Amino acid sequence: MSSLEPSRRDTRLDPYIDQYADRTGSMTVSAVRALFAVANRPEVVSLAGGMPNIADLPLADLGASFDDLVRTHGVQAMQYGSGQGELFMREKIVEVMAEEAIAANADDVVITCGSQQALDLVTRIFIDPGDVILAEAPSYVGAMGTFNAYQAQIHHVEMDDQGLVPEALRQAIVSLRAAGRAVKFLYTIPNFNNPTGITQPLERRREVLAVCQELGLVVVEDNPYGLLTIEGEPIDAMRSMDDQVIYLGSFSKTFAPGFRVGWVLAPHAVRERLTIAQEAAVLSPPVFSQFAITNYLENFDWRGQIDSFRGMYQARRDAMLEGLAAHMPPGTTWTTPNGGFFVWVTLPEGLDSQALLPRAVNERVAYVPGTAFYADGFGSRNMRLSYCFPTAERIYEGTRRLGKAIADELEMHATFGLGPDVARHTRNIGPAPDIS
Amino acid sequence: MSDNVIVLAGGLSHERDVSLRSGRRVAQALRDTGHTVLEADVNASLIDTIASVDDPVVFPVLHGGAGEDGALRSVFDLLGVPYVGSTGPASRIAFDKAVATPVVAVRAAGFRTPRQSSLPHDMFRELGAANLIAALGDQIGFPMMVKPARSGSALGCAKVAGASELPAAIVAAFSYGEIAIVEEFIEGVEVAVSVIDLGDGPRALPAVEIQPRSGVYDYTARYTAGETRFVTPADLPADQADRCAELALAAHGALGLRDLSRTDMIVCDGEPVFLEVNVAPGMTDTSLLPLAIEASDASFADVCSALVTVARRRATGTGTA
């Protein structure tokens, strides 16, 4: 070995630290994000992630069909494709959207790498740094990550138990414009909002659309969960009522996320720009995945599979709601979703879901703190619980563990006389966890 | 002689993510130096995994919890499996700040340790938090540091400027464990000194001076490349640098550590003040011990390899360690 005599080194371990774009400023490691490494251990009941449960898919039959696909269409399927996406895929997507009352033309569909990339493309073509995007309070953490990457200003709009409050929306648009701000679009998840699970009823959708039409604001409707309605039929999509709505769809929850296929349905002029933006981003969305999904839609009972998913998620949702009712300390409230993946919990006054997380991990349960879903620091009393991936038994056990962690934290607050107004020390939280 | 090494990383502690990154780096370093490496997590199959490897040395790179508190190392002793690093009992003392600091204060005479008080949460409940908090303010003074007694990577740590912030900071520390320590805040140059012993006695590596961009060496500053400036050897007068090395060696000896350790300290008014010692120092790309090794014009891979050799010789009785 060499000598251990020193020669001075002065380093920040990143020679490019002063050269990154401003928009990367928040792209740092955080303790909250690191805690999710523990959540992946089997001992921990993770109510944090938004992974769909796809174990019930007919994997053997799918495998055989993929073999056939490679034999018969392998050369095409493994080649570059159209920037807009393959026509056969877009035609199938039109059929899928009809399930939620959307009448569309395949020419107006752009295929994307999951609807996450659809968000990226829409933001890319509309947003200059400093432009305002309106979003529900709270909203999807992955969308906000994209909006932040384009240096948009996210302005949250109040929700009630029926989703966006139209009058609050109107006031936000008017006041922001009066202040000289460029308000570019409303981003909304009307079905089983991520993270709250709240759904906008039909009439509320009409009211929201009316405000946006009157004030000339683009609506971006994100609908990954609509077909996973548990009781009753899916509510008509906003896009079915207004063909100027930019609609984002996905196969990630109704089939499987690994294919990374989503789409945008947009008015003609917007679609043109999206296509060009898509070509610049990835040349063409994954062709093999489009063949595979089209094959699935043509040759498998995909509607029956969705019905099966609905039953499976219903059992898991019920386990979570029963567990919460049995184990949550007084003062805790939660939403009752009729579909999607998430329940939104509001903790007793004075508790902080980020501060609680290490205690919860000690109890072997994990969740996503509510602040992840706000751009403005709100949400500290909230947490998002997912019921999509663990089994019903594990979910119930997870709520028991969570109830204990909350009760212990409440006892600690009582011991120390901490109330809602007591000063809290500043914690370096970092960016929101990148959990869908 | 076998070249098999089991690099143990992950575990169930709050520092799992850091441990996994440390483990991957150590494993690569050992492969680069010709060892046959198996990377393993701590789980129900671990003992079977160890049994399935011919004549292994375990290189634990576990941070926090059972990996650092000596529990697993005691299991290795029980199994007769050689491992890199300090024994279980020594690790148990070193990992617990509420125990290590008083031990260093007594055994490493001539070095300063911070005024410190450690209290389990049930003490506050049984005796009344208000009185104890007032006493902490009187005895320790503000600003002060609040930390979990058994945690790392600055998780659950807070600088408290005044009495109104103290209850929330203590509650936050209790989120990580059952004992919180409150100690005086030491203002000065933040420095870490690693000690390695490659069979010829412990020696201190050059001190690494830590200058976080945000002013606080918290989790983000520790593990985001670019967020902290590291100067190695620390920009200190020679006599102060010597005292830092002496403190690290004294702490290493006082706590009965072996092979490797890292002592964190603050140089205040020209004199180093002990903060804590780590028996499983971070080995990530932004960690301090690898920086110190590289600043020594030594190779991180060679040091890892030599540590394995030391552990193997210790087991076979062929070395001096």
Q: What digits encode the pLDDT tens for the residues B151-172?
A: 877 888 999 999 999 999 999 9
pLDDT exceeds 80 at position A4: no
Considering the domain B4-85, what is its CATH architecture? Answer: 3-Layer(aba) Sandwich (3.40)
Q: With helix as H, strand as E and coil as C, how does chain A read?
A: CCCCCCCCEEECCCCCCCCCCHHHCCCCCCHHHHHHHHHCCCCCEECCCCCCCCCCCCHHHHHHHHHHHHHHHHHHHCCCCCCCCCHHHHHHHHHHHHCCCCCCCHHHEEEECHHHHHHHHHHHHHCCCCCEEEEECCCCHHHHHHHHHCCCEEEEECEECCEECHHHHHHHHHHHHHCCCCEEEEEECCCCCCCCCCCCCHHHHHHHHHHHHHHCCEEEEECCCHHHECCCCCCCCHHHCCCCCEEEEECCCCCCHHHCCEEEECCHHHHHHHHHHHHHHHCCCCHHHHHHHHHHHHHCCHHHHHHHHHHHHHHHHHHHHHHHHHHCCCCCEECCCCECCEEEEECCCCCCHHHHHHHHHHCCEECEEHHHHCCCCCCCCEEEEECCCCCHHHHHHHHHHHHHHHHHHHHHHHHHCCCCCCCCCCCCCCCCCCCC
Strand partners, A46: A366
Tell me what the mean pLDDT of segment A71-78 comes to: 96
Tell me what the mean pLDDT of segment A329-350 comes to: 96
Lowest mean pLDDT among A84-98, A114-128, B137-151: B137-151
pLDDT exceeds 90 at position A424: no
Say whether residue A269 is in contact with chain B using an 8 A CB cutoff.
no
Does A12 contact B302 at a Cβ distance shorter than 8 Å? no
Q: How confident is the model at residue A291 (pLDDT cuts 50, 70, 90)?
A: very high
Residues A188, A135 contacting (CB under 8 angstroms): yes
CA distance to partner chain B, nearest, from residue A11 (Å):
5
pLDDT exceeds 50 at position A429: no
A residues 36..55 contacting B (CB < 8 A): 36-38, 41, 43-44
A residues 359..388 contacting B (CB < 8 A): 359, 361-362
pLDDT exceeds 70 at position A12: yes
Gap between the Cα atoms of A371 and A139, Å rounded: 10
Say whether residue A3 is in contact with chain B using an 8 A CB cutoff.
yes
Does A37 contact B168 at a Cβ distance shorter than 8 Å? no
Tell me what the mean pLDDT of segment A266-295 comes to: 97
Tell me what the mean pLDDT of segment B11-16 comes to: 86
Nearest to B145 by CA among B91, B204, B84, B101: B101
pLDDT score at B50: 95
- Residue A197 has φ and ψ, to the nearest 5°, of 80, 0
A267-275: long-range pairs with CB below 8 Å, 24+ = A267/A108, A267/A243, A268/A107, A268/A108, A270/A125, A270/A246, A271/A84, A271/A107, A271/A108, A271/A109, A271/A110, A273/A125, A274/A110, A274/A121, A274/A122, A274/A125, A275/A83, A275/A84, A275/A110
pLDDT exceeds 50 at position B86: yes
Question: Which among B15, B219, B228, B285 is the top mutation candidate for probing chain A, defined by the most A β-carbons within 10 Å of its own β-carbon?
Answer: B219
Query: What is the pTM assigned to this prediction?
Result: 0.89
Question: Which among B175, B235, B236 is the top mutation candidate for probing chain A, defined by the most A β-carbons within 10 Å of its own β-carbon?
Answer: B175
Q: What digits encode the pLDDT tens for the residues A172-200?
A: 999 999 999 999 999 999 999 999 999 99
Q: Which token pair is A169?
A: 């929306």
Does A412 contact B176 at a Cβ distance shorter than 8 Å? no
Tell me what the mean pLDDT of segment A137-162 comes to: 95
Tell me what the mean pLDDT of segment A88-104 comes to: 96
Q: Scanning every residue of chain A, which has its alpha carbon at the shortest distance from the alpha carbon of B205?
A: A4
Q: Scanning every residue of chain A, which has its alpha carbon at the shortest distance from the alpha carbon of B129?
A: A416
Question: What CATH class does B116-184 carry?
Answer: alpha beta
CA distance to partner chain B, nearest, from residue A150 (Å):
22
Measured in residues, chain B has a length of: 321
Does A4 contact B298 at a Cβ distance shorter than 8 Å? yes
Q: How confident is the model at residue A249 (pLDDT cuts 50, 70, 90)?
A: very high
For B19, B192, B269, B274, the CA distances from B189, given in Å and listed in that order, are 27, 10, 9, 12
Mean pLDDT of all residues belonging to chain A: 92
Q: Which residues of A touch B205 (CB under 8 A)?
A: 4
Q: How confident is the model at residue A38 (pLDDT cuts 50, 70, 90)?
A: confident
Does A2 contact B198 at a Cβ distance shorter than 8 Å? no
Does B296 contact A428 at a Cβ distance shorter than 8 Å? no
Q: Which token pair is A296?
A: 């699935």
Does B18 contact A5 at a Cβ distance shorter than 8 Å? no
Tell me what the mean pLDDT of segment B65-88 comes to: 92
**Could you count the other beta carbons within 10 Å of the beta carbon of residue A273?**
16
Q: Which token pair is A261?
A: 């296929």
pLDDT score at A8: 79
Q: DSSP characters for B164-212?
A: GGHHHHHHHHHTT-SEEEEEEPPPSEEEEEEEE-SSS--EEPPPEEEEE
Q: Scanning every residue of chain B, which has its alpha carbon at the shortest distance from the alpha carbon of A15?
A: B226
Question: What CATH class does B93-112+187-309 carry?
Answer: alpha beta
Nearest to A413 by CA among B160, B122, B171: B171
Mean pLDDT of all residues belonging to chain B: 92
pLDDT score at B2: 72
pLDDT exceeds 50 at position B320: no
Tell me the percentage of chain B whose pLDDT exceeds 90: 77
Which of B12, B13, B220 minimises the CB distance to A428?
Answer: B220
Say whether residue A350 is in contact with chain B using an 8 A CB cutoff.
no
Q: With helix as H, strand as E and coil as C, how does B45-112 read?
A: CHHHHHHHCCCCEEEECCCCHHHHCCHHHHHHHHHCCCECCCCHHHHHHHHCHHHHHHHHHHHCCCCE
Residues B290, B25 contacting (CB under 8 angstroms): yes
pLDDT score at A434: 33
Tell me the percentage of chain A whose pLDDT exceeds 90: 85
Say whether residue A413 is in contact with chain B using an 8 A CB cutoff.
yes
Q: How confident is the model at residue B131 (pLDDT cuts 50, 70, 90)?
A: confident
Q: Which residues of B touch A406 (CB under 8 A)?
A: none
pLDDT exceeds 80 at position A16: yes
Residues B295, B206 contacting (CB under 8 angstroms): yes
Q: How confident is the model at residue A435 (pLDDT cuts 50, 70, 90)?
A: very low
Does A8 contact B224 at a Cβ distance shorter than 8 Å? no
CA distance to partner chain B, nearest, from residue A119 (Å):
27
pLDDT score at A428: 33
Say whether residue A299 is in contact with chain B using an 8 A CB cutoff.
no
Q: What digits encode the pLDDT tens for the residues B245-264?
A: 999 999 999 999 999 999 99
What are the residue boundaries of the structural domains of chain B, listed by start? 4-85, 93-112+187-309, 116-184
For A107, A131, B189, B246, B267, the CA distances from B242, given in Å and listed in that order, are 74, 56, 15, 6, 12
Q: What digits encode the pLDDT tens for the residues B264-300?
A: 999 999 999 999 999 999 999 889 999 999 988 899 9
pLDDT exceeds 90 at position B319: no
Strand partners, B272: B267
Gap between the Cα atoms of A155 and A136, Å rounded: 8
pLDDT score at A227: 95
Pairing of strands A333-334, A342-346: antiparallel
Does A7 contact B297 at a Cβ distance shorter than 8 Å? yes
pLDDT exceeds 70 at position A421: no
pLDDT score at B125: 85
Q: How confident is the model at residue A388 (pLDDT cuts 50, 70, 90)?
A: very high
Which bin fits B80, alpha (ψ -120 to 50), beta or left (φ > 0)? left
Question: Which among A35, A404, A425, A434 is the top mutation candidate for probing chain B, defined by the most B β-carbons within 10 Å of its own β-carbon?
Answer: A425
pLDDT score at A3: 41
Helices (H) and strands (E) in chain B, counts: 13, 13
Q: What digits encode the pLDDT tens for the residues B174-198?
A: 998 899 999 999 999 999 999 999 9
Q: Which residues of B touch A365 (CB under 8 A)?
A: none
Tell me what the mean pLDDT of segment B55-69 comes to: 90
pLDDT score at A312: 96
Size of interface A-B (CB pairs under 8 A): 169
pLDDT score at B254: 97
